[in-house]
Every structure is written in structure tokens, then in C-alpha cells.
């Protein structure tokens, strides 16, 4: 029986008001998708810990000939985050039902600190699992193992929701119940997927 729900952040709980690639286009134009992919590839090395993202971003900006500072671009693209009202309301409903509801997200340290300080997620969730603090990033089984250890519950008691199929598959292999969902699919679809696990909202 499910007693806990783990929710991913980007694409499930939060989004950029205009889209991260679209926001990057203000600085690199038509190269935005490639630019964002370049930064993300380097960022991946920092998701399990480390504080080198500013240097990574500065180097990629130089590669693309961008005059704006790394700090300006970081704030405009990576720190401009909008919590999704429907998902936030769902968290409150789930907690009202007596379920433990927790954040489970891959983040580099600076963005994790921003999410904690500026978005109020420590109050919204019972527990927050940031990859940079755990020392492992999804889909690494160690990420899910660390979450289960802290919660002190067996894997089948936890339902994980993420917009990455790879992460969902990894969670299932560890024994969690898991569903793939992106906020663009709508809250009704998420409700149906939760109901399939006996979570009725």
C-alpha cells in the first residue's frame, strides 16, 4: 500500500514561465537548443555535488560569443522558476490524506539552494531529496536507495512521479511504484495514474 509520494521538480512541480530553451534564446538566438544541451551536458557532472556551475556556464557562454555575464544568464534561465499551481495543490491534498509527500529532484547546488530559499519547498514537502546533497543523481539506484533509507519504508510503499522515462524505469527496478507524467498532460491524467496505485485525490 502506497504511503509516500515522491515528486520530481522540473516538468512536474515547476517550469520556466516561457521555457528554458526559449529563455536562452534571448542570449544565443537560434542556437538556443544546442546551447542549452551543451550546458546541460556539463551540468550533469555536478548533479551529484560540486559548486562549479558558474564556471561551466561562463565557459559555454564564451564559446557562443555571449557578452552577458554568467550570473545574468543563470538568473534569467536557471533561476526563473514558476511552481505549477495544480501540482502544488495536489501536494496539499495528498498530505491532507495523510500521505508523506516528498521532493525528489536532480539539481546542482546553486539551484537547489534557490529552490529551498525562494520557493518554499522545505515547507511544502515533508522531505526533500536533492541529488547534489545525496551524492547521486537519478536514474542512479543510489538516489532512490538514499530516499528509502531516510524515509525508513520499503520500496513498494513509495510512488514516484517523474517526467523522465529513464528515471521511472530505474525507480521501478529498485522496487518503487512509479509513473511517468509531464505537467503538459494535465492534472486529470496525473490523477488517473495515481488512482491506479490506490491514491485517490
Question: Is 38 within 8 Å of 63 (Cβ atoms)?
Answer: yes
How far apart are alpha carbons 121 and 130 in whole angstroms? 11
Taken in order of first residue, the domains within the chain and their CATH numbers are 4-15+82-195 (3.40.50.1000), 20-78 (no CATH)
Q: Specify the 3-state DSSP secondary structure of 145.
A: helix
The answer to whether the predicted template modeling score (pTM) of the entire model surpasses 0.95 is yes
pLDDT in tens, 45-59: 999 998 899 999 999
DSSP state of 157: G
pLDDT in tens, 72-126: 999 999 999 999 999 999 999 999 999 999 999 999 999 999 999 999 999 999 9
CA distances from residue 132 to 80, 149, 187, 192 in whole angstroms, order as listed: 19, 17, 29, 32
Q: Report pLDDT for 119.
A: 98
Question: Is 181 within 8 Å of 159 (Cβ atoms)?
Answer: no
Mean pLDDT of the chain: 97
Amino acid at each position: 500500500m502506497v504511503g509516500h509520494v515522491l515528486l520530481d521538480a522540473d516538468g512536474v512541480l515547476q517550469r520556466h514561465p516561457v521555457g528554458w530553451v526559449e529563455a536562452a534564446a534571448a542570449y544565443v538566438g537560434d542556437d538556443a537548443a544546442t546551447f542549452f544541451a551543451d550546458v546541460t551536458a556539463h551540468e550533469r557532472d555536478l548533479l551529484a555535488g560540486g559548486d562549479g556551475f558558474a564556471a561551466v556556464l561562463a565557459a559555454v557562454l564564451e564559446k557562443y560569443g555571449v557578452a552577458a555575464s554568467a550570473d545574468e544568464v543563470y538568473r534569467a534561465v536557471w533561476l526563473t522558476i514558476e511552481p505549477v499551481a495544480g501540482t502544488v495543490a495536489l501536494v496539499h491534498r495528498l498530505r491532507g490524506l495523510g500521505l508523506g509527500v516528498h521532493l525528489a529532484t536532480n539539481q546542482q547546488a546553486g539551484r537547489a539552494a534557490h529552490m529551498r530559499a525562494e520557493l518554499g519547498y522545505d515547507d511544502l514537502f515533508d522531505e526533500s531529496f536533492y541529488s547534489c546533497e545525496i551524492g547521486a543523481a537519478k536514474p542512479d539506484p543510489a538516489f532512490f536507495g538514499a530516499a528509502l533509507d531516510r524515509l525508513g519504508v520499503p520500496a513498494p510503499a513509495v510512488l514516484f512521479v517523474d517526467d523522465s522515462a529513464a528515471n521511472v524505469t530505474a525507480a521501478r527496478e529498485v522496487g518503487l511504484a512509479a509513473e511517468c507524467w509531464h505537467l503538459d498532460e494535465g492534472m486529470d491524467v496525473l490523477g488517473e495514474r495515481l488512482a491506479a496505485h490506490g491514491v485517490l485525490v
